[in-house]
Structure 1
Amino acid sequence: MRFLAVTRRHPSAILLIVQLAGLLLYPLLESTRAGPVALSAFGITVLVFTTGMVRRTPGLTWLSVCLALPAIVMLLLQTRQDMQWLLPWSAALEAVFYFYAAASLVTYMMGDMHATTDELFAAGATFTLLAWGFAYSFVVLQALQPGSFLAAINPEQPRSWSELMFLSFALLSSTGIGDVIPVRPLARAVSSLEMFVGVMYLAAVVSRLIGLTLLRRRGLNP
């Protein structure tokens, strides 16, 4: 009961925890025999949590469900029927879904002049949603244009999900690029777009929440 109460009060915190847990689970599971099944199950879990989050924002619940359900079905088909040709389609749907969820959370955070605790958690959750959205975009690019991303280790092999996720976080946070490098023009264009989104998110959204938090502590918040 206490867990449910915390979930209702701070749903963004739950989403953030699930997303961060995924960062640790994916590298541990993607190389195992049961990895694809576990990864698909975790992906579905994240989608369900994210759908629940969109319900609490100005976002349209029906639209988020319409994006999530086909992606879930495709994940199941890839796992149970070995229909790997569905990968770029499911990844594209998931990318759109995460971007829409991130946009809904940004609207939620920018909707008033008060910085609540849940909105501070939402700032972190939105960052992870953006990182996941761009990582799935990289999956689509790699499927449509093999060789879009190269690395020092096994450069001829497609980059793993963990490598693309690391690249996404590095670009979004503007902390570097690591050993995974976009080499095709479209891959570089999307990577440049992610760097721009990361800088603007920190400048426009996070800085605003920090400012409102400081005003609230000083008793100056309207």
Structure 2
Amino acid sequence: MTSFKRLRWWVTARRHPSALLLAVQLLGVLLYPAMEDTDAGRALFGAFGMVVLALALWVVNRSASINWIAWCIAVPAVVMSLLSVWGQLPGLLVYAHLLEGTLYFYTAASLTAYMLQDHEVTRDELYAAGATFTLLAWAFAFAFSVCQQWYPGSFIAAVNPELPRSWMELLFLSFSVLSSVGLSDIVPVRPEARALVMLESFAGVMYIALVVSRLIGLTVTRERKGG
């Protein structure tokens, strides 16, 4: 029975890779706060990031996107991330974040094209809608991280405003801006940071207006025809 359940889980995962990517990213939101304060936690954070990268590659491979582009971004990102942590080369971290953010943007674009390629809404496309949102949030969080490292003092906050913002703070800001709720105490103060925040605000509004509304409309139309 256990083997049957594992096989069924594997078949479901292969059929809905977007759901697995979404679940892992949401799990990361819960785990990240415990990963930032210790060396072991930061190492685990790096390993977890590689798992997400692997899932992102899997999703791209399942779509109609150009796979070699994703691989050309992911491989150097992993190498630089490993060298920055285990090779004691922290200067490479900014380039690892730059490449990881690029891969997430590319994966989000791939999933968006996948959701818009036909006029039928499948269960995997609904999972892809959630996964695309989280991919965009992660991608902009990496962009904020790069901005902060290239332009120190880009973001301030109510707590320890003189210190660089942690990954969890930048991810919190990204989710707040992308969802347009604005419930964040992190404030962009440099022009470069404000430009990124404006781009994310635009991306969030357009994503909801174009992708989510289209999926909802197609789902309602299908239900009416079925009824």
Q: TM-score range, shorter-chain basis?
A: over 0.9
TM-score, structure 2 normalization: 0.95
Q: Which residue of 1 aligns with 2:119?
A: 113
With a CA cutoff of 8 Å and minimum separation of 6, indicate the structure with the bigger relative contact order: 1
Percent identity of paired positions between Structure 1 and Structure 2: 55
The partner residue of 2:49 within 27, 43, 49 is 43
Q: Which residue of 2 aligns with 1:4?
A: 10
Code of the aligned partner of 1:145: Y
Q: Which residue of 2 aligns with 1:78?
A: 84
The partner residue of 1:22 within 18, 24, 28 is 28
Structure 2 portions without partners, runs of 5+: 1-6
Matches within 5 A, 1:55-74: 55-74=61-80
Show structure 1 runs of 4+ deviating over 4 A.
Answer: none
Code of the aligned partner of 1:118: D
Matches within 5 A, 1:163-182: 163-182=169-188
Mapped to 2, the partners of 1:198 and 1:140 lie a distance apart of 20
Mapped to 2, the partners of 1:3 and 1:74 lie a distance apart of 33
Structure having the larger proportion of residues in helix: 2
The partner residue of 2:153 within 144, 147, 152 is 147
Per-residue deviation, 1:218:
1.4
Q: How many residues in Structure 1 have an aligned counterpart in Structure 2?
A: 221
Per-residue deviation, 1:152:
1.0
Mapped to 1, the partners of 2:111 and 2:147 lie a distance apart of 26
Structure 1 portions without partners, runs of 5+: none
TM-score, structure 1 normalization: 0.97
Q: State whether structure 2 residue 201 is matched by structure 1 residue 204.
A: no
Q: State whether structure 2 residue 79 is matched by structure 1 residue 98.
A: no
RMSD between aligned alpha carbons?
1.1
SS in 2 for 1:65: helix
Mapped to 1, the partners of 2:12 and 2:195 lie a distance apart of 41
Mapped to 2, the partners of 1:143 and 1:32 lie a distance apart of 21
